[in-house]
Amino acid sequence: MSTRAMGLAPELYEYVLASMPPEHPVLAWLREETAKLGGISRMQIGSDQGQLMALFVRMVAARKVLEIGCFTGYSSTAMALAMAPGGTLITCDVSEPYTKLAQQAWARAGVADRVSLRLAPALETCDALIAAGESGTFDLAFIDADKSNYDGYWERCMTLLRPGGVVLVDNVLWGGAVIDSTIDDEDTRAIRRLNGKVGRDPRVASAMIGVGDGLTIAVRL
């Protein structure tokens, strides 16, 4: 995952960051802690994307959020901080070690009571939510997990989101691989398929923007 907008010169990206509100101290701490993990830390979203996601939480007055892919918790912490007290963010992941860091961040930020971690395959968690009668009740969803299941996550989000709810899909530019004909691995194919599907999906109004590694924003109609 890119930590800055693709194609944006480093100097211009620094200007963007400097023009935004300061990064929350807990998020800055979490970025430093995640960096200690080495190369895998690239999976963390950039602070500009975190600011954008928090803004969407505020714009739709989200009280119920679904996150598919937690990692060390940057996006969930950013969104939970933007939620009103009493809101609920359900985050899905299969890694106990990485989510332990996320739990520390939620506690430090004072939002642990708003976050419910589900350590299980995300499709199973989504299906359980649907079976429990929670279809059409979520205000916002964020998809940022294994790419081969992106279509499955998209379909579950279409069921779980209320009309007017927002879904954000990360990594839709995949480091530029989506337009590289020499790259044809399963993850890249899955992202290309979903990108082509979303633009024609009559259930949503959508746009793709060049934040981070590419972000699709869609509103459930």
pLDDT at 1: 41
pLDDT at 154: 99
CATH ID of 10-220, from 3.40.50.150, 3.40.50.970, 1.20.1540.10, 3.30.70.20: 3.40.50.150
pLDDT for 147-184, tens place per residue? 999 999 999 999 999 999 999 999 999 999 999 999 99
pLDDT above 50 for 2: no
Q: What is the mean pLDDT of residues 96-108?
A: 98
pLDDT at 8: 83
Edge to edge, what strands does the sheet with 161-170 contain? Answer: 115-119, 88-93, 64-68, 138-143, 161-170, 215-220, 204-209
What pTM was computed for the model?
Answer: 0.96
Domain boundaries, the chain: 10-220
Measured N-to-C along each axis, helices 122-131 and 150-160 cross at an angle, to the nearest 10 degrees, of 20
Structure token pair of residue 164: 């007017």
Using the Cα atoms of residue 207, residue 27, residue 69 and residue 34 in order, give the sign of their dihedral. Answer: positive
pLDDT for 27-49, tens place per residue? 999 999 999 999 999 999 999 99
pLDDT at 16: 92
Structure token pair of residue 143: 């998809």
pLDDT at 4: 55
Report the mean per-residue pLDDT for the chain: 96
Q: What is the mean pLDDT of residues 53-77?
A: 98
pLDDT at 85: 87
Nearest alpha-carbon partner for 143 in 164, 163, 125: 125
